[in-house]
Amino acid sequence: MRHSSLAGGESEVIEEKFLVKVFRYDPSRDKKPRYETYMVPAFSNLTVLDALIYIYENYTNLAFRSSCAGGLYGMTVCNQCRVKVNGKSCLACKTMATKNMIIDPLDKRKIIRDLTIEM
């Protein structure tokens, strides 16, 4: 089986799945933040951004930012998709997904919703 990746190429499907735990919080509706867990197919070359898009398209209306598609098509990396993965700040479009990821918004920023923060 083949999967067309965001990079415009094709990625080979690996039968494995990644467990992805994502910070969820909507200050207008939720009393406190929580984590939700999702299963994401482990495609080769899967980025954190690919995993977030998969979650958005297949599970829920997860809020996160992305704009430049990882610097593809001659665009400069925009820094919009910066999140924390397993406690370390990274660009979701450039960071490879791993098993058992925990994805959080950046620290010390006002949360608009889920992984979307005030810039």
One-letter amino acid of 55: I
What angle is formed at CA 46 by the lines to CA 72 and CA 75, rounded to 5 degrees?
10
Note the pTM of the prediction, 2 decimals: 0.81
Distance CA 38, CA 64 (A): 15
Q: Check residue 15 and give its pLDDT.
A: 66
Strand pairing report for 34-43 and 88-91: unpaired
Distance CA 47, CA 102 (A): 14
Residue with tokens 């984590």: 35
Q: Check residue 69 and give its pLDDT.
A: 58
Task: Give the CATH number of domain 2-106.
Answer: 3.10.20.30
Structural domain spans, the chain: 2-106
pLDDT tens track, the chain, 119 positions = 334 444 445 555 556 899 999 999 999 999 999 999 999 998 888 999 999 999 999 998 999 988 765 555 455 566 788 999 999 999 998 899 999 999 999 988 899 999 999 87
